[in-house]
Amino acid sequence: MTIFQDFISLIYPRICYACGNSLYKYENCLCTYCVYHLPKTDFHLDKDNSVSKLFWGKVNIFSAAAYYYYNKGTKIQHLVHQLKYKGYKEIGIYIGNIYGKELKKSVLFETVDIVIPVPLHPKKKLKRGFNQSEMFAAGLAESMNILLDVKTLQRTYASETQTRKSRFARWENVKEIFALKDFETLQNKHILLVDDVITTGSTIEACAQIFSDIPGIKISIAAMACTMH
């Protein structure tokens, strides 16, 4: 079997989704160099980080963090692009697994009960084939050993693309497109809302707003990457 796999790898080499270099047998999705050198934020160790500050005075968030810094033209942008537009779902699951282990050790995230990804509209999900945020959330839930909930939070209609919109325009674009279904089980729970990339935070803020009236709920946020330093 190993000989066969070696033969296949000669024809279809396994490469790092961030840098494009060939992977060794023990590596998966990312090469060892990228695992250790991609720009991590360590925001899960700092309650008053840049992502958290996005929501101050807007919605009550317990904690918020992102794994990587996102900038155009970088390996992280390439990594997200490979996940989102090239269909490599394993990227989201793999990074979610890694980050979940970090979050589980943080006092800010250790009490999370349920992971909830920002949903795509059904038509968009059908066209793309999957929800990239759901892949990341699945990895988080697996490594944190907690429930993944993809049914409670729903997108009621497809919004326009957020690219090149101002913060206010982004908020106007998403403020009324989410709804909750059968949310009674979330009472007194600590939920983790998950997105792929946080820029202005408008999308995930709109999600958090509709959860905020649930009695006893505690809301935290996690993303694969964020644009702020």
158 and 110 assigned to the same domain: yes
131 and 29 assigned to the same domain: no
80 and 192 assigned to the same domain: yes
Q: What pTM was estimated for this model as a whole?
A: 0.87
CB-based contact 200:54 (threshold 8 Å): yes
What are 4's two structure tokens?
A: 């066969």
Mean pLDDT of the chain: 89
137 and 216 assigned to the same domain: yes
Containing structural domain, residue 59: 39-226
124 and 217 assigned to the same domain: yes
46 and 58 assigned to the same domain: yes
Q: What is the pLDDT of residues 199-209, one digit of tens each?
A: 999 899 999 99
Q: What is the mean pLDDT of residues 84-112?
A: 97
> Given pLDDT bands bounded at 50, 70 and 90, which one contains residue 127?
confident
> Given pLDDT bands bounded at 50, 70 and 90, which one contains residue 5?
very low
27 and 49 assigned to the same domain: no
123 and 180 assigned to the same domain: yes
| Residue whose entry in the numeric block shows the structure tokens 């980080």 | 49
β-strand pairing of 153-155 with 178-180: antiparallel
Q: What is the pLDDT of residues 44-71, one digit of tens each?
A: 999 999 999 999 999 999 999 999 999 9
Reported for 43-46, long-range contacts at CB under 8 A and 24+ positions apart, including other chains, are 43/226, 44/102, 44/103, 44/106, 44/108, 44/109, 44/222, 45/106, 45/108
> Given pLDDT bands bounded at 50, 70 and 90, which one contains residue 162?
very low
220 and 171 assigned to the same domain: yes
Rounded CA-CA distance 175/160 in Å is 12
Q: What is the mean pLDDT of residues 112-141?
A: 93
What are 161's two structure tokens?
A: 């693309």
| Residue 3, pLDDT above cutoff 80 | no
Q: What is the mean pLDDT of residues 179-183?
A: 90
How many domains does the structure of the chain reveal? 2
DSSP letter for each residue of 83-132: HHTT--HHHHHHHHHHHHHHHHTSTTTTT--EEEEPPPPHHHHHHHSS-H
67 and 2 assigned to the same domain: no
104 and 137 assigned to the same domain: yes
2 and 103 assigned to the same domain: no
| Residue 168, pLDDT above cutoff 90 | no
Specify the CATH number for the domain of residue 142: 3.40.50.2020
Phi and psi dihedrals of 77, rounded to 5?
A: -60, -40
Give the per-residue pLDDT at 126.
85
| Residue 163, pLDDT above cutoff 70 | no
Give the per-residue pLDDT at 228.
78
